Structure 1
Amino acid sequence: MKQFIALAGAMLAAAPAFAEDWDFMLTNGSGKPIKTIELAPAGTTEFKPQTVDPETRRDPIIKVGAKTTVRFDKAEKQCRYDLKATFEDGTSLVWTSANICENSYVTLKLAGGKPTITAN
């Protein structure tokens, strides 16, 4: 019996952290049309392409001022993400440390040419 309990405990400890489906509303306030959005846990470079809601976005380009729902798999206990936008002209910018757990609405902006996030 002790061996079974030890084995069960070892299996639980080795279980991967599960991701959960998550989404937020993104507004493009960057001044440039966005071609793709990628997310990475804050401070990493592990960017993964994200999907936008096909029901609200027939055009894959997120035009200036447009809103879209971004869906992704949120890692357990991970709330801060860096967002990378690749624009229609092929350039990219990264907005850092957006708190996705506390904010359902995120606006990507440029202030003096630097990426800034407004969230609520």
Structure 2
Amino acid sequence: MKTLLPAAAAAAFLAYQAPAFAEDLEFLLINDSSADLVEFNVSPASSSNWEDNLMDGGYLAPGYEIGVVIADGATTCVYDIRGSFDDGSEAEDYGLDLCDLGEYTFTD
């Protein structure tokens, strides 16, 4: 059974388990696609690997949004984003300046 993440729990769920740093980045993740977002990865652009799935058993339904906090202690603002959907589709975006982003929307 899938679990739709309530906004408050999801914000805490999506935050990396690390103490707060001045470099913490926050943005709104919006699913404006037609499928459930079932996997969400954010990695520093300098990394050759994707970080862990931040949805980890949950999902973000179409038309919903959630706050994301990246509290990894890194001093970079430039990250790559990947989303996987329950219909098998994927979306990747590279070199995003999350310090200035404010929000990110997945669309079809």
TM-score tier, shorter chain, comes to 0.5 to 0.7
What residue in structure 2 maps to residue 46 of structure 1? 49
Inter-partner Cα distance in structure 1 for 2:32 and 2:47 = 24
Point out 4+ residue stretches in structure 1 off by more than 4 angstroms: none
Counterpart mapping for 1:25-64 below 5 A: 25-42=28-45, 44-49=47-52, 51=54, 60-64=58-62
| Per-residue Cα deviation, 1:87-107 (whole angstroms, up to 9, x for no partner) | 123442212222110122121
Paired positions, count:
86
Inter-partner Cα distance in structure 1 for 2:73 and 2:86 = 26
Q: Percent identity over the alignment?
A: 26
Larger radius of gyration: 1
Superposed CA RMSD in Å reads 2.7
Instruction: Give the TM-score of the pair, scaled to structure 2.
Output: 0.62
Tell me the SS of whatever aligns to 1:108. strand
- Unmatched runs of 5 consecutive residues or more in structure 2: 1-20
Larger relative contact order (CA 8 Å, sep ≥ 6) = 2
Q: Is the 1:42–1:96 Cα contact (8 Å) retained in structure 2?
A: yes
